[in-house]
Structure 1
Amino acid sequence: MTLIDQLIENRTTQQIAFLQQLVRIPTDTPPGNNAPHAERTAELLTELGFEVEKHVVPTAEVEAAGMQSITNLIVRHRFSEDGPTIALNAHGDVVPPGEGWTHDPYGAEIENGKLYGRAAAVSKSDFATYTFALLALKNSGLKLKGAVELHFTYDEEFGGELGPGWLLRQGLTRPDYLIAAGFSYQVVTAHNGCLQLEVTLHGLASHAAYPHTGVDALQAANKLLTALYAHNEVLKTRRSQVAGITHPYLNVGRIEGGSNTNVVPGKVVLKLDRRMIPEEHPAEVEAEVRALIESTVAQSPGITLDIKRLLLAHPMTPLPGAAPLIAALQKQGEAVFGEPIPTSGTPLYTDVRLYTAQGIPAAIYGAGPRTVLESNAKRADEHLELADLQRATRVIANALAEMLAC
């Protein structure tokens, strides 16, 4: 066990208590009132001896994006004036808990070595991973160069543009490398992109007793849904060459329409999500989806159509400069887990793309089970194996020490 490992082990109880406090403060997005969580996180970081910068995103920008409040946090710790800056990014916003829980989603209960709660795995866990990894380095007395930054942000669920995207656009940070919140034992080096659209079909409402006087938007939406889901058979033939990623997929995640049971629906709104593999070009994907929607709706007389883009998140592919970072994570991961740590892609999309778009080499690694599905991330009874929290903290801290060694 290294000196860094020992320092991390000595603070195990404190690290768990830190994570419990973060899980107990809801950050459901929507509605996206995330500033209170950032304020409490800043207090906890200050108690650990860190200087915390609080960057408040203007209310008008937050509300325009459909949220209520965002405060992004940066902690900077410099070991020397020369050397690289490595940023560690995790997001505090999460989807609402939904139904089916057998544990309080905000209770941070511990049972059989697992901590339960919304965001216990993705990604408040890595607030704790990264904080205590940096704390171990800070207290180690090792001669290191460069700097480490913590970026704790609050807009991943809505695309990240007001989280890391906002910090980068404001010129508040420009690291040389990035490690972002993980969700498996693998070092993730690529991820899918995502296009989200809001599709509104306008018909003409009428009394159900006189349906011929209306134009049924729901019947038109039914035809569109059939066409969209049929398109998935085409998408399944487009195979990615990236391990961990299979093929594109189109999902309709929300449908709203109609006013009452005795009224022909005059308006239906669909919200869809089109995942794109790293080999696809986002502009071409959007053009294809729009063309499919437009041609299908054109077959329903009297229906007019509005299409609004909600999100266009580009896929992430590894930058050449990421090789030393990836190698350090793999080496230290093998030392901790006792087995080779592979690289892989993920069908998720993440905030990492916002850093790589700026030319910042990045990798995804943090606390998590062998596979993301094992943690129930974003599902009922989401949880984190506490042994994985300590293991990931050791990997991160030792990888940072390797990258910053004089």
Structure 2
Amino acid sequence: MTSQQQVFDAIDARRDRIVEFLTEFIGIPTENPPGRAYPEGAAFLEQALNARNYDVETVPVPQDVVAEHYPDRAEYPRTNVLGHREYGDGPTLHFTGHFDVVPAGVDWTRDPYDPVVEDGKLYGRGASDMKSGIAASLLAVDALEAADVDLAGTITQSMTVDEETGGFTGLGYLVDEGYFAETDYCIYTECFDSTRVCLGHRGVLKFEVTAKGKKSHGCMAHDGQNAITAMQDFLGRIEEYRETLHTRTTDLPVTPPESRHADISTTMIDAGYSENVVPDRCTATFYRVLVPGESVSDARSEIDARLQATQEATGAEFDYDEIMFAEPAEVPRECTVSQTVATHVERHHGDVEFVVSPGSDDQRFVVNDGGIENCIVYGPGLLEQAHVEDEYVPIDEILTAAKVMAATTIDLLGETEPN
């Protein structure tokens, strides 16, 4: 039997190699939207898995499936990448993470796609969210191999697209196509820092509403019907709804604690042509957050009731268009993978924090659609670094997370008995 310290030493010995790997990986600008450089990202990961002797499978997403979810981006090819290592007939552990990143923006003090290391931190877009998570799970298995650990099960690594815009053609597609059918345990390596075990997330419903009025000259407003005025009625009902939602709380450890309630926000408004024209269109966009225990279908019904009331009150016609939804997800703190990861987090940090994410992520596909209870979120990187300028990940975070992943792998899959 190999000692855990041998595995940990193998991880520490690969510090420079994993920084080199991650530097090249971050340098590929896999921005979403729209899905830029996905082929280059997939090819890089395919090569990395082949170099490690995984059985590699690339899964292109059919264009009609992409068009169903992202009609304005269907011309951008999308490919998910999987690698399998079968050691024995024991359980299967599936590490999964996404390789798309949000657009870098313009306010960086460094080139977001020319990563640099400063003071033990690696800077670049995707450093925390979440290319370091993919690097950590690869590093964990590299170290197990280097230490000659004889595992008794199977490891799968999957790297997916489009999490930043809903994940439907990424992890959602893999779950729909049966790639998780044989999975016993799953670790989604999203950034939450290496001291935390994430048990689930809140849900979201993004939608827009358009009020339809009648255009007229501003000096003859009586000839028109002002769509902005009609929208004001609906916005008032949304504010009342928001107050109601704030009374719907959860006892789950959503972090930060201020996010432990349902919510709705008006996030964008578009109306008007000129200062002297009564507008016949006003479109508002909304972001409805659901706590575990709520459902998207119930949220739709509540919104529709308020929309119907506004139409009756104003006489205006309204259109409802859904942008994206994600059901809440949660798993028990007592599930095997959660407790196993927590044990090893405590050994490295002295304590562990169980949390629930304030926003949605791809865990829901595995838990809700795949029916796999033993699925938690654990990875390096800092949640507060996600989507910000000058994003970074502490290199020690990657190494610690890899050690937790490696030790967890041994416990979950077991080791073969020597002959």
TM value normalised by structure 2? 0.89
Separation of aligned partners in 1, 2:227 and 2:389: 34
| 1:344 and 2:355 are equivalent in the alignment | yes
Local SS of the residue matching 1:121: helix
Where does 1:101-250 land on structure 2 (aligned, <5 Å)? 101-174=108-181, 175-182=183-190, 183-184=192-193, 185-244=195-254, 246-250=260-264
Q: 1:74 corresponds to which residue? A: 82
Separation of aligned partners in 2, 1:16 and 1:297: 57
Q: 1:299 corresponds to which residue? A: 313
Q: 1:88 to 1:216 in 2, by over 3 A?
A: same
Count of matched residue pairs? 398
| 1:26 and 2:26 are equivalent in the alignment | no
Answer yes or no: is the 8 Å Cα contact 1:19–1:127 preserved in 2. Answer: no
Show CA shifts across 1:92-112 (max 9, x none).
123223343222222222222
Q: 1:110 to 1:203 in 2, by over 3 A?
A: farther
Where does 1:212-291 land on structure 2 (aligned, <5 Å)? 212-244=222-254, 246-291=260-305
Local SS of the residue matching 2:82: strand
Q: 1:311 corresponds to which residue? A: 324
How far did residue 143 of structure 1 move? 1.9
TM value normalised by structure 1? 0.91
Q: 1:405 corresponds to which residue? A: 414
| 1:55 and 2:86 are equivalent in the alignment | no
How far did residue 87 of structure 1 move? 0.7
Local SS of the residue matching 1:345: strand
Of residues 189-198 and 99-108 in structure 1, the stretch that sits farther from structure 2 once superposed is 99-108
How far did residue 194 of structure 1 move? 1.3
Local SS of the residue matching 1:196: strand
Answer yes or no: is the 8 Å Cα contact 2:133–2:381 preserved in 1. Answer: no
Q: Percent identity between the aligned chains?
A: 29
- Aligned residue identity for 2:245: L
Local SS of the residue matching 2:125: coil
Q: 2:346 corresponds to which residue? A: 334
Separation of aligned partners in 1, 2:8 and 2:299: 46
| 1:6 and 2:13 are equivalent in the alignment | no
| 1:381 and 2:390 are equivalent in the alignment | yes
Unpaired runs of 5+ residues, structure 2, are none
Answer yes or no: is the 8 Å Cα contact 2:130–2:381 preserved in 1. Answer: no
Answer yes or no: is the 8 Å Cα contact 1:122–1:181 preserved in 2. Answer: no
How far did residue 7 of structure 1 move? 1.2
Q: CA RMSD in A?
A: 2.1
Answer yes or no: is the 8 Å Cα contact 1:276–1:315 preserved in 2. Answer: yes
Answer yes or no: is the 8 Å Cα contact 1:52–1:73 preserved in 2. Answer: yes
Q: 1:37 to 1:271 in 2, by over 3 A?
A: farther
Q: Which runs of 4+ in 1 moved over 6 A?
A: none
